[in-house]
Amino acid sequence: MTYNPTLMLSSPHSDTQSPQPAKPRVVIVGPGAMGCLHAGLLGRMPHLQVGLLDHRPDRAKLISNQGVIIEAPEGSYTVPTQCSANPDDFGTADLVIIFTKAYDTAAAAEHAEPLVSEDTAILTLQNGLGNYEVLQKYFPDEQVLAGTTASGATLLGDGRVRQAGLGKIVLGSPAGNHELAQRVAELLQSAGLAVQVTEDVDGLLWRKVLINCAINPLTALTRRCNGELLEIPVLRELLDEVAEEVYEVGQVAGVEWGNFAPGQEVKQVCQATATNQSSMLQDVLAGRRTEIDYITGAVVAAAQQHGVAAPLCQCLTALVKGLALRHG
């Protein structure tokens, strides 16, 4: 896509009389694997101002000094990146992208508040269910967008990631502000990212959580890469069973699945990301807290709310929590 220098997020009626309009400012919240990956991808674009908001001043200083380092299949590269633990260092942003863990969403929203004006779009591309609802407690509903990304990355150290693959971003407005969703999509597309807009945000998030429910806990518990789950018959069968359970809970919760085939979709993701370590496995191996409460745990909560059972998700939630306690 050819970049339009007048593309801003504030309003289609913004003053564009200046011959050199300000570059759109994008601030990414959370310097984990996905945050650093996208800070690097967007930061390579000269028409964007990209910042990375951390909550640790020491790490922020290190990343600002060294830049974001991405190990990509075509070779490693470094992107100079402004990283700070002080949101006032960035000024008001046109787009804020939340990439923290799901359990840190509220803290991230509070930290990012100085970045947000009435013209700022706030986009969550986090794992799990419930993130955009938390953001809507802090910001106007019509400014909050939600989506998923099929890209993957492994955190190798502070500000250093290995790119595991680049996939499509799908996003939309839970409040129905489709014009804002389209403008954000165009901004991300101008940086070379594949982006699609959807009007079915909840369905999108449930499809992603179904895949995460099937793959992430099993990889974390067995210490296996995604593709290995297909090589062992009992695990391959369990993938199908978990996917079907989430599908049924989603139906009761009002999700319109369309022609989505749960078992087939999960297997395709395992094949496409065969050598990847899931984010949950990375967390377990690093001794970090997992997002299990926002993945299988969120499905259990939805099932209880609607009076149905989700025994597999309940079991996986307990096992991963027990694993984290053991290694915590």
The pLDDT tens digits of the residues spanning 3-52 come to: 343 445 554 444 445 455 689 999 999 999 999 999 999 999 999 999 99
User: Which DSSP symbol is given to 2?
Assistant: -
Structure tokens at 17: 């009389």
Query: How many angstroms separate the CA atoms of 235 and 223, rounded?
Result: 12
321 included as an active-site residue? no
User: What pLDDT sits at residue 1?
Assistant: 34
The confidence score (pLDDT) of residue 20 equals: 58
Of 182, 199, 216, which residue is a domain's last? 199
Note whether 260 and 311 are same-domain residues.
yes
* CATH code, domain carrying 56: 3.40.50.720
> How far from 79 is each of 25, 99, 145, 154, 319, CA to CA, in Å?
16, 18, 26, 17, 39
Taking every pair of Cα atoms in the chain, the longest distance, rounded to a whole number of angstroms, is 64
Query: Rounded to an integer, what distance in angstroms lies between the CA atom of residue 171 and that of residue 78?
Result: 28
CA 133 to mean position of chain CA atoms: 15
Separation between Cα atoms, residue 69 and residue 41, nearest integer Å: 11
3-state secondary structure of 94: coil
Encoding tokens for residue 150? 């099929």
Which structural domain range is residue 287 located in?
202-327
Q: Go through the chain and tell me how many residues it has.
A: 328
Residues 6 or more apart whose Cβ sits within 8 Å of residue 285: 223, 277
Asked if residue 19 belongs to a domain, the reply is no
Q: Give the per-residue pLDDT at 327.
A: 47
**Is the domain of 226 the same as that of 314?**
yes
- Does 56 share its domain with 134? yes
Report which secondary-structure segment, H or E, holds 69.
Answer: strand 68-72
| CATH number for 207 | 1.10.1040.10
pLDDT at 275: 87
* pLDDT at site 5: 35
Determine, yes or no, domain membership for 5.
Answer: no
The one catalytic residue among 61, 101, 208, 321? 208
Q: Last residue of a domain, which of 199, 229, 256? A: 199
Residue segments in the chain with a per-residue pLDDT below the cut of 70: 1-21, 324-328
- In this prediction, residue 18 carries a pLDDT of 47
Same domain, 111 and 218: no
In a shared domain, residues 242 and 300: yes
Outline where DSSP puts E strands in 120-263: 121-124, 144-149, 152-157, 160-165, 169-172, 195-197
Cα separation of the two ends of the chain: 46
> Same domain for 56 and 143?
yes
Give the span between the Cα atoms of 100 and 122, in whole angstroms.
13
Tell me if 12 is assigned to some domain: no
* Domain boundary, last residue among 199, 227, 261: 199
Total domains present in the chain: 2
What strand order describes the sheet that includes 25-29? Answer: 82-84, 49-53, 25-29, 95-98, 121-124, 144-149, 169-172, 195-197
Residues 236 and 301 in one domain: yes
